[in-house]
Amino acid sequence: MPAADTHLERRDVPPEILTQLTLFSEYSAAATCAANFNSQGSKVVCDPGVCQVLEGLDTTIITGFMGHNPGNITGFLAVDKTNELIVLSFRGSRTYGNWVTDSEFQQVPIYGICPGCYVHHGYYYAWGNFSQYIMPSINQLAAQYPHYSIIFTGHSFGGALATLGAVLEGTANRPISLYTFGCPQLGNYSFAQFITGNTVGNGYRVTHSDDPVPRAFSELPKIYHWQYSTTSPEFWITSGNDVPVITPDIQVIWGIDNKAGNLGTTGLDLAAHNWYIGNMSGCSTN
């Protein structure tokens, strides 16, 4: 395995990038709201004050999904007419079914498209089944709105599903942009290369401070022989919890397995996992 890249690009992200990250962090947070995954034809909502940008947009939920197994996958598919987007948003880990899937970290090969790639069994199996349910709806929307961009987004467990969906379903003629927040590692170095290469220019893996989730699988005990890597680039939020994020707070980290960002931290701040630009629980009672 090649040595980890230690290059750190120390620059503020452009304001437009922070604007994008803010919007899709709110879309990810909204996937926790029962009003979104239990509704069809309604507007995407959060608790008052949580999704201030999102709630000002012309959005329509096309379909919501709750408890889709395996994985107990929950979230929604929406159209954003303000920004001309088709958005698939996944909720993070909330249920026993989510946690069981998280824990199935043994790796399996991906045949055909990625030689030498090994991927987290639980996430790969969950997406493989869910894709058969959701992709026909996305294909139909893409035909209906041919000029709209397709976005997959999610927090934590939801970020893992969004990543697999974007890299396995996106094509040169129909790219899928990816925005994840606190996403766990998904596979070995070869698979990290594959993800990195297939999300160039349209992949935003956001981490926060010493959130342990994005690096957890690389810290598995040595009795496990599976190797996990992080993808590039990483957008590392260095500010604290419950404070507004400004452009100097986000450092762009280049290189697979680069320890200049979250991977080089050692803390176990679970509060950092739940604060990404804003509160990642869009609805506190769900």
All structural domains of the chain with their residue ranges: 8-279
Average pLDDT over residues 69-98: 97
Which pLDDT score, from 0 to 100, does residue 201 have? 87
CA distances from 115 to 140, 193, 228 (A): 31, 11, 16
Angle formed at CA 37 by CA 33 and CA 39, multiple of 5 degrees: 110
* Banded pLDDT at 81 (limits 50, 70, 90): very high
Beta strands 149-155; 85-90: pairing state? parallel
Helix (H) or strand (E) run with residue 124 in it: helix 121-144
* Banded pLDDT at 27 (limits 50, 70, 90): very high
Q: 8-279, which class in CATH?
A: alpha beta
pTM above 0.85, yes or no: yes
pLDDT in tens, 189-246: 999 999 999 998 899 999 999 999 999 999 887 767 899 999 999 999 999 999 999 9
Mean pLDDT taken over the chain: 93
Q: Which two tokens stand for residue 99?
A: 């946690």
9 vs 93, residue with greater confidence: 93
Separation CA 237–CA 247 (nearest Å)? 9
Contact 188, 118 (CB under 8 A): yes
Catalytic residues, by residue number, are 156, 211, 273
Q: Is the pLDDT of residue 69 over 60?
A: yes
Which pLDDT score, from 0 to 100, does residue 39 have? 84
Which pLDDT score, from 0 to 100, does residue 11 have? 66
Which pLDDT score, from 0 to 100, does residue 4 have? 53
- The one-letter code for the residue type at 184 is P
Query: How many other CB atoms sit within 10 Å of the CB of residue 115?
Result: 10
Helix (H) or strand (E) run with residue 153 in it: strand 149-155
Q: Is the pLDDT of residue 16 over 80?
A: yes
Place of tokens 């995954």: 37
* Banded pLDDT at 281 (limits 50, 70, 90): very high
The packing angle between helices 121-144 and 96-103, to 10°, is 120
Separation CA 195–CA 231 (nearest Å)? 7
